Amino acid sequence: MTGFLAKLNRSARRIRGDRSGVGAVEFALIAPVLIMLYMGSLEISVAMSVNKKLARAASTVADLVTQDSSVDKTFLASMVNVAQSVMTPFPADGVKLKITGIEINASGEAKTKWSWKEDNTKPYATGSAQTLPADLAIPNTFLVRTEIEFDHKLLLFVPDLPSVDIRTLHMKKTYHLRQRIGNEVTCDSCLLN
């Protein structure tokens, strides 16, 4: 038994003094952390780009709607295509869009004049109260509000991990703009449903 223990002791000293392969072991320990950091930073930068594109889509739709004194449901339906085009090169299927004409009366109360949603329904009842930022609630004015929502699916982060559901980010942007021509933007066909 003493011969076996002596051999084991010599082998342990030789292994303890041997430094070959240390770099490979350190790399094996650090590489997964570095890869996750890299993938996470990639996901964050892509999500920030999608968020910027969503904000630009909301402002573009509001800008186009406010350039006319009158719009209809057909014109508003084309705004979904506009929003999807602005979102390029990111996939924009599933963009949800609401466009609302908001009239602010002499006492500063904001009420829905007309509203439209991408499925050709009215998201807000005509005459319903709307909440606006204080600096936009100017008496006797009119606003067009666009609300755009999008679910961004993450590309690489935590693939196929059933217990963690952070693979989809829900993004929403709201944009207000005043009309360019006349006192308001009308949508007679929006009032029918």
In this predicted model, what pLDDT tens digit does every residue of 121-173 receive, in sequence order? 899 999 999 999 888 889 999 999 999 999 988 776 555 555 555 678 889 99
Q: What percent of the chain has pLDDT over 70?
A: 91
What are the respective helix, strand and coil percentages of the chain, to the nearest 5?
40, 25, 35
Compare 15 and 121 and report the one with higher pLDDT.
121
In this predicted model, what pLDDT tens digit does every residue of 26-58 receive, in sequence order? 888 999 889 888 888 888 898 899 999 999 999
Backbone angles phi, psi at 171, to 5 degrees: -115, 145
Domain that holds residue 69: 20-191
| Mean of pLDDT values over 83-93 | 90
Question: How many independent structural domains does the chain possess?
Answer: 1
- Evaluate whether residue 179 is within a structural domain: yes
In Å, how far from its chain's centre is CA 10? 63
pLDDT at 193: 59
- Evaluate whether residue 8 is within a structural domain: no
- Evaluate whether residue 4 is within a structural domain: no
pLDDT at 18: 67
- Evaluate whether residue 24 is within a structural domain: yes
- Evaluate whether residue 185 is within a structural domain: yes
- Evaluate whether residue 14 is within a structural domain: no
- Evaluate whether residue 159 is within a structural domain: yes
Mean pLDDT score across all residues of the chain: 86
